[in-house]
Amino acid sequence: MGIASEFKEFAMKGSVVDLAVGVVIGGAFGKIVNSLVGDVIMPPIGLAIGGVDFSDLAVQIGTNPKGAPVLFKYGAFIQTVFEFLIIALALFMVIKAINRLKRPIPAPPPPPAPLTKTEALLQEIRDQLAKR
């Protein structure tokens, strides 16, 4: 079997195609979340704490050899953390919905409890009376 045919067999498996679709949808979802956080969530939060634009929050930690400032951009990090939390929450909600749609596997009935001596004796009496 040649490499081309092995690759074709691998690429045509359902899980690989599902993964590719998931990656494309995930990329699009990531852009939506970036816009949601950067354009909708962070501006009101920045306004509420005094008109701060989180994407501009940075501390200069030095200069490079050309004289340009080297910045520690903690505002961008905060924004990325918000993006992560929203993506994690969305994935949690999707997985929770999928799990709710799955039918639970019925549990096997519990094994009968062991009979006490009295119950065993009563069963013997019942069986003997049924024979008469």
- pLDDT for 41 equals 81
Chain position carrying tokens 């924004």 = 79
How many domains is the chain built from?
A: 1
Query: Counting runs of H as helices and runs of E as strands, what totals does the chain give?
Result: 5, 2
The predicted model scores a pTM of 0.52
Q: Per-residue pLDDT tens, the chain, 132 aa: give them.
A: 688 888 777 777 767 777 788 888 888 888 888 888 878 887 888 788 777 777 778 898 888 888 888 888 888 888 888 888 888 888 888 888 888 887 778 888 888 888 889 988 999 999 999 987
User: What is residue 130's predicted lDDT score, i.e. its pLDDT?
Assistant: 93
- How far apart, in Å, are the Cα atoms of 93 and each of 28, 34, 63, 80, 120? 18, 18, 45, 20, 52
- Output the pLDDT for position 99: 81
The confidence score (pLDDT) of residue 125 equals 93
Q: What is the structure's pLDDT at 44?
A: 84
Residue 125 sits in a domain whose CATH number is 1.10.1200.120
3-state secondary structure 13-38: CHHHHHHHHHHHHHHHHHHHHHHHHH
User: What is the domain range of residue 26?
Assistant: 3-131
And the tokens for 10? 């691998």
- pLDDT score for 21: 81
CA diameter of the chain: 110
